[in-house]
Structure 1
């Protein structure tokens, strides 16, 4: 029985991966996906380490939430410059620079002697993350013009698996080594990935190789981001990322303080959120071919509402695991919206426009962690989860009005 299931899963994986190989693209996809695994995994690990970080620096939930917000806000602010840089020097150079910055920033974060230094280096982590985000999407779209949804879905799924595995590893490592050594351990892995990406990711011709002025580029951006598909896509994505940010920043803390779970169990359930998300990210990217963007996005957003609304009323490890796994379905929205918005942008302004849009919606969505932290300190942790569920229902409504792209 187990052998049959394993063979079936292997066949399905091979069918997904086969169109993504050839012409050296397979190794490029591996480097990009592994880079995203480490970048997202380390960023998602920080909420798991918050109890130890709070104890070290003597900060409360609101301050801890603000720290995560700083990472995400700087992550958002870095997106637009990343897009413009890609237009000037090419996607590969920016991608490698992102991995290098992450290597340095994590080493500095682990060594921070004071909370002010920790906060500053956390902002540098946001820079490294921000340089990677838009470059990853536009690079994959150029490498896989006929399979970009699948390539982006696979990459995001690998990142989600990293977000699932690394918090568990970090939780175990923190118990023995402390949070500083745990964070520092990711730096050598990122350094190795930096070298791999430099060697295997192909160079691309910068979109702005002809030397278009910055003013001309900005005029092009204004018209590129003003269409109805882009507006609705970004609107729905902004609210969804706000929900994701608020949920992931405090889910481990919520499971420990409100549901009474121990740290290891809470970390395992937190990981389950991303395992579920990895499955739906691959499935969502492939489902677009048969059902269209709007149908898939509405279904994924609507499916994520009930588990968030049920979370305050569920107790026990098994019921909580089921609810958390169902809540992870919403992560499947990411590859579909990314591909939809990128394809809705004109090619000549795609990098800069995509970076600008990511800056815009991440700046707004980054406040999700601070929002949940404030409600938690006010004694309304359960209420925060209910609000997040209601906001995800709003996302489903917004996506219902998306036009299909021609």
Structure 2
């Protein structure tokens, strides 16, 4: 049997717009690969949240200062997203994913050799910039290459994988660091990136390019036009609020410590793992959730996230109840993200790569602010931090409401 990329049927049939009548890419292997890679690549942001104490000891600093390695990665990732989206539009998702994996492998390996905190921060910036090539390309690939009835499930699985990374890679990093040291976390990450090049080349199809006169410059020019649309700007700001809340909560678990489990590494590991059922359930329930319009799903998910964090702020001494509140919180975040992506895609059908790039930039600006928000509020204690986070999520609800009103008007 010939390979899908090289067979005559598929050599030029890869769709460049979702409205062409193509032979679509096989959904199951594509979704599985992009979801797994989302865990690996986006998870590099979150590994250090489980390594704050061992890295601080090795680098001669404090855990609060080591949070800058997460912030540096996140800001660089946000910038990389802005570059990767238009590059994906111009050169094709598979090409950008492949090139990104090669350079991200080298950058991740370099982080493992950092001798001090300034070097670690600089190398994490490079790692973030290179890892950013994956997510916008993956989301764009799903929209362009999968059949319309599969896209909602694909977006939900891919974005859920990216959120699962925050939990899975923290758990993995904590376990690896306990046995092999924190530097081994980056050795293993680099090895997995290198190995993933094989399935990327086998499963993903090259994208047929549009013959556009403006080329790459035209792709980048779409961004300022998108930022002149108030509803899109509100969605991007709501994403900043969502992701800053998401990362702030898990940073608070690491450095502020709920009173009932502070200093207990096993209990903290269990608290991190408590969200995993939500990250499995949301993709499974995707067909049910998609019966609701994307704007309504987004608003309801933001509201549930705010409520769960507000309730959790009073449960620091009750581990099981707090774990349940975090489970609801993560489920809400995982449901909100694909809904926001769907809304953005519907608002920018001719510049999806640029629109998703701005979305990813918003995500990681928020993710970068999360650790610093927690660090600045440490004096308030775990409960105080979560109450501020809940207020930020209420702001996210308010920012998402205009899309709901617009949908009803349609």
Smaller-chain TM-score range?
0.7 to 0.9
User: Which residue in the other structure is 2:89 paired with?
Assistant: 87
Alpha carbon RMSD of aligned pairs, Å? 2.6
Structure 2 residue 287 is matched with structure 1 residue 286? yes
Q: Which residue in 1 is equivalent to 2:18?
A: none
Aligned position for 2:12: none
Partner of 1:37: 39
Deviations 1:42-96 (A, max 9, x none): 3322201111111111323442222211111001011111112113211111112
Cα distance 1:239–1:185, how it changes in 2: closer, same or farther (>3 A)?
same
Q: Which has the higher helix share?
A: 1
Displacement of 1:371: 1.6
Please say if residues 281 and 334 of structure 1, whose CA atoms lie closer than 8 Å, have aligned partners that are also in contact: no
**Corresponding position of 2:104:** 102
- Give 1:257 shift: 7.1
Between 1:252-261 and 1:45-54, the stretch displaced more is: 252-261
Q: TM-score, normalised by structure 2?
A: 0.84
* Aligned residue-pair number: 382
Q: Assess if the C-alpha contact under 8 Å between 2:94 and 2:205 holds in 1.
A: yes
* Corresponding residue for residue 58 of structure 1: 60
Matched, 1:173 2:176: yes
| 8 Å Cα contact 2:112-2:184 kept in structure 1 | yes
TM-superposed CA distance for 1:370, in Å, is 0.9
How is 1:318-333 mapped onto 2 (pairs within 5 angstroms)?
Answer: 318-331=320-333, 332-333=335-336
What is the Cα deviation at residue 141 of structure 1?
0.9
Give the secondary structure class of the aligned counterpart of 2:313. Answer: helix
Shift of 1:27: 2.3
Quote the Cα distance in structure 1 between the aligned partners of 2:394 and 2:130.
32
The verdict on how the C-alpha distance between 1:178 and 1:38 changes in structure 2, with shifts beyond 3 A counting, is same
**Gapped regions of structure 1 (runs ≥ 5):** 1-20
Paired position in structure 1 for 2:5: none
Q: 1:301 to 1:313 in 2, by over 3 A?
A: same
Three-state SS of the structure 1 residue aligned to 2:291 is: helix
Secondary structure of the corresponding residue to residue 214 of structure 2 = coil
Q: Deviations over 1:140-192 (max 9, x none)?
A: 11122333221111123334444433332332222221111233122222211
Determine the structure 2 residue equivalent to 1:383.
384
Seen in structure 2, the aligned counterparts of structure 1 residues 219 and 168 have a Cα distance that, compared at 3 Å, is closer
SS at match of 1:146: helix
Matches within 5 A, 1:308-323: 308-314=309-315, 315-323=317-325
Distance 1:357 1:324 in 2: 24
Distance 1:400 1:286 in 2: 23
User: Of 126, 129, 139, which aligns to 1:127?
Assistant: 129
SS at match of 2:152: helix
Equivalent residue, structure 2, for 1:6: none
For 1:260, what is the secondary structure of its paired residue? coil
CA distance in 2, matches of 1:156, 1:356: 15
The equivalent residue for 2:77 is 75
Aligned twin of 2:189: 186
Preserved CA contact (<8 Å) 1:160 1:275: no
Other-structure match for 2:154: 151
Alignment of 1:170-319 (within 5 A): 170-207=173-210, 209-213=211-215, 216-255=218-257, 259-283=261-285, 285-314=286-315, 315-319=317-321
